[in-house]
Structures are given as structure tokens and as C-alpha cells.
Amino acid sequence: MKRDVVPMPPGIHAGLLHREARSWVRSARVLGREYSDPKQMTEMVGPIYFPLCHGLELALKAVLAAKGYSKYTLSEVIGHDLNMAYRKAKADARFPSSDALLQKLVQVMSPEHKKHQFRYPGTIWLQLPNIVQCCDAVDQTRGIVETARAKAALRLASKKLAWDPHLEPRRPLKPRQAARLRKIWNR
């Protein structure tokens, strides 16, 4: 059976991003448990919080991809800006507003993450939240992403479509290209 090949749907991309985010968060959780003593934690701020920040960035981008944001927008427009990703995710994905820890995590870590400071000495002065609680807060984004991933996979299967990551545009599509892809997708 021949299948039409289309670029990766946002829901599938969201699932892949979130799977990668969970790996980074899991790594931060393991390091946080291993170095739970306050003196050790001070020495290990970068190696523990860098994977957490990267996992948070990927999780927020996964939520945005689940809501239809393109790869181009996620990488070129939002980039490493946790504040922008969080604001857009909160507005577009209707995050629960009660998640104060996730909001605090973004506020505290965004400037350091945007400048890649967790990879270098000098970030020890930050008042950072408990690593296990931080990991739990990031993991809460999974529900939004799973729903979008499942819908996209079902839609691909029902329309007998296959996706190819090599078809992804490096810049926004021209109107004619977008219309052609919508025609295939909406059959």
C-alpha cells in the first residue's frame, strides 16, 4: 500500500520533543538524588540544573508543538527563551494557573538558561528550588502533549499518510506550499 508522505505533523513532533525532555529531566533527577547534600549541591549546580533547564525548554516547546507551532518558530523565534515559551504555552495551551513552582522555575532560571550560564561557573548564588519538585513540575506537561501526539498518530493512520522529517521546511512555508500540504492533510 502506497502512502503519501508529508512533513512531520506538530503532534508527532510534540511527542518526540517531550520524550527527549523526559530524558533530560530524568538525568537531573538522578543527579539531584545522588548529590542531595547541600554542600555537594552547591558544587554541582551546573551539572544538575543544566539538564533540568534543557528538559524544561523541550517540554514547553513540546506543549507549543502540540498546539501547532512549527519547528521553525520553536527553534528560530523562541529559541532558548524559557520566559517566552512559558508565556506562549500558558496562553495557547491553557496551563493550569495554579502551578506556581513551574512559573517560579521559569522566572529564576530563564535568564541563566538563555545565556547558557549553567554550563559555566558563577551561578551558585541563585536560590534554586528543590530539584525533585522541579522535575515533578516539568513532568506535569505530559498530559497536554500526549493527547496531541495520539490525535496526530491516529489522523496519520486513518488517512494512510506517512511523515518524513527530511521534508521539514527550514523557513516558513510559502502560501502555495502550505495550501498543497493542507490539501493532502485534510483529505
Distance of CA 36 to the CA centre of its chain: 26
- Average pLDDT of the segment spanning 62-77: 85
**Domain contains 157:** no
Of the candidates 59, 66, 65, 74, the one whose C-alpha atom is nearest the C-alpha of residue 172 is 74
* 3-state SS assignment for residue 35: coil
- Average pLDDT of the segment spanning 78-82: 91
Q: Which three cell numbers stand for residue 104?
A: 517560579
Average pLDDT, the chain: 78
CA distance from start to end of the chain: 17
**Domain contains 187:** no
Cα dihedral value 34, 134, 42, 127, nearest 10: -160
The neighbour count for residue 18, using CB atoms within 10 Å, is: 26
**Which domain covers residue 20, as residue numbers?**
10-152
**Domain contains 159:** no
**Domain contains 84:** yes
Q: Which residue has the higher pLDDT, 46 or 178?
A: 46
Whole-number pLDDT of residue 130: 82
Q: Which three cell numbers stand for residue 182?
A: 493542507
Provide the pairing of β-strand 161-163 with 4-6. parallel
Q: Which residue intervals of 67-161 are DSSP H helices?
A: 71-72, 82-93, 100-114, 131-139, 142-158
**Domain contains 132:** yes
**Domain contains 23:** yes
Whole-number pLDDT of residue 82: 92
Domain count, the chain: 1
**Domain contains 112:** yes
Q: What residues form DSSP beta bridges with 5?
A: 162
Share of the chain above pLDDT 90, in %: 16
pLDDT in tens, 82-118: 999 999 888 876 666 557 888 888 888 888 888 887 7
